[in-house]
Structure 1
Amino acid sequence: MTAIAVLGAGLIGREHAELVASHASASLAAIADPSPQAQALAARLCVPHYRDYETMLDEVRPAGAIIALPNHLHAPAALACIARGIACLVEKPVADDLAAARRLAEAAERADVPVLVGHHRRHSPDIHAAKRAIEAGELGAVVAVSGMTLFDKPDGYFDVEWRRSVGGGVLLINLIHDIDVLRHLVGEIESVRAFTSNAHRGLAVEDTASIAIRFVNGALGTFVISDNAVSPWAWEYTSGQALYHPSEPGPYLFLSGRKGALSVSDLYLWRHAKESDHWQDRLVRESRSGDGSRTYVNQLDHFLAVVQRQAKPLVDARDGMATLAVTLAVDRAAQEDRTVTLAEMLAEGAEAA
């Protein structure tokens, strides 16, 4: 059994703790979080509770740690794990700024201690199937991509102060997952333009954004996101894989290439029957399918392999830094009303580190 500690017992931290406690090859070693709710969770799961994660790491010495603390604590907690030789899974974003993300990535590489970033959709069967179709050449070269994440968070969600402050809006909480999927499926992002809005909810943070994307390989894309709009069009619904949301099978992401098009999460592949066909000919629709596995279980399985040094992190700290850089570029592009490049963001992060 691989002993895993959980740092943070908020919404996702509680789910991590439950998953570890129920896994056949893992044991929940401890929970570190100062809240009374964390103490109650630890008591229910019959594991030690600590208010301070450094004390817990020193006394418990788990084989691995899952970091589900507030964003600004991700990098410090991961660095504490690295200093002790403990592999960690860090919830997204990998850090709250690029300088901290770079310091974390460099520390992990120097110490040769693996860090897995919790971009869980890369472990999802629909994303796996989409990646397979692209790598098999079924779409040809990807030309264009368009997607949406639209859902309505309740007012009570924003009772927590940090969700009303800088960094607590829909970009760093939600869009960052979509950016990671786009990087994974289409390729590295060269630059972005964007608009953001808080016109309807009126909080200090954005609740809606629209983005134009240029990929390094020449593909172009658009994405629209809001946590203040009713719809069934978001991975959380369409995949049937999210922990807290109902399943609404359908598409949220559309990829089109020189040979075919694919919608995700419903995994319909559209192509011409003959290579000589074109826009005046009917298309053939085929179905691709996932393997029926569960995203968060897949992620935990992978993390256990990482802890045992049997696998390299699917999303390491440097990879997570690139996704963070694009997400922060979206915010800057909206604030400054200009095109922002990934190279610009990474260069500034390197200087600040």
Structure 2
Amino acid sequence: MNSQLLDALTVLEKEKGISKDVIIDAIEAALISAYKRNFNQAQNVRVDINRETGTMQVFARKEVVEEVTDPRLEISIHDAMNINPQYEIGDVVEIEVTPKEFGRIAAQTAKQVVTQRVREAERGVIYSEFIDREEDIMTGIVQRTDPKYIYVSLGKIEALLPQSEQMPNEKYEPHDRIKVFITKVEKTTKGPQIFVSRTHPGLLKRLFELEVPEIYDGTVEIKSVAREAGDRSKISVHSDNPEVDPVGSCVGPKGQRVQAIVNELNGEKIDIVRWSKNPVEFVANALSPSKVLDVIVDEEEKATTVIVPDYQLSLAIGKRGQNARLAAKLTGWKIDIKSESEARELNIYPREEHDSLFQFDNTDDEHGEEQDE
């Protein structure tokens, strides 16, 4: 052990952010085990490394007693006072027992400890960096695939994209660049493990934050997201600034902003609707692109009955019920859709007191294609 090691630890401290004192303390602890193992010693010892010179000493620690029963752990009061007259029974005497061949063992042990500490520190740095990026978006490069995961390089570490989080309409090839949503960062014995997703609604939200400056600066707020990844999604947006059109901001000039997100999601259709605290308006908007004649609200059941023109019924329900299903997820309200003729037969439309009776045309807020029932 010499000053070269201390110089190396100083460099490590600067480059890796590992405290030199922390590594030296770890080396001292490891050397105690190495001493006992290599020299077949069972006594209590302390290893001391000089922080200035790098010199090393091993001290046996023995308790001062009246009568010695275990010479490895105890020293008589008579022998202790020969070392220092001030020793009393119960004190601990330290006697240097540094073996001549201990330098080689110390060097090997120090190398192992430093390597381990550097590895732990690098893992800690990576974990600290990525734990703050949970529920964030990153661009990664596909490395390889197996039946369970796609392995995506995020620079310092490979993330796992589980099969359940992969878009059904996408095929991933090595070297493909994809944007992923970080769902979970775990600390394991083998280092940090990062799980990512391509299907999470948060990915859609983050993509809009990247693409739409008004969302990034808080002028426009995304209130809710409903997504069936790879097929169709709906988002509701709102702005407290009456001069800002939240839907238009998300669509962008000639639809460029939303189209960029559609392209990133491999053609996934996206409906952007205006949020409202009034459930009548919000549910009607959420059923875009369908026109809505009336929305009857049941506050207690948090349910709505929506009346649409007969020719709009299939559009309102959507392919395999998708449009109605996404609208329900987006609004948090149950939605029961009835055609105008059916509602008239049930005598629920038109209503005498029709404070919520209106004609909606939501086709301006729709940015996908019409769906078939």
Pick the TM interval, shorter chain: under 0.3
Normalised by the length of structure 2, the TM-score is 0.26
Normalised by the length of structure 1, the TM-score is 0.27
Higher relative contact order (CA 8 A, sep 6+): 1
**Larger radius of gyration between Structure 1 and Structure 2:** 2
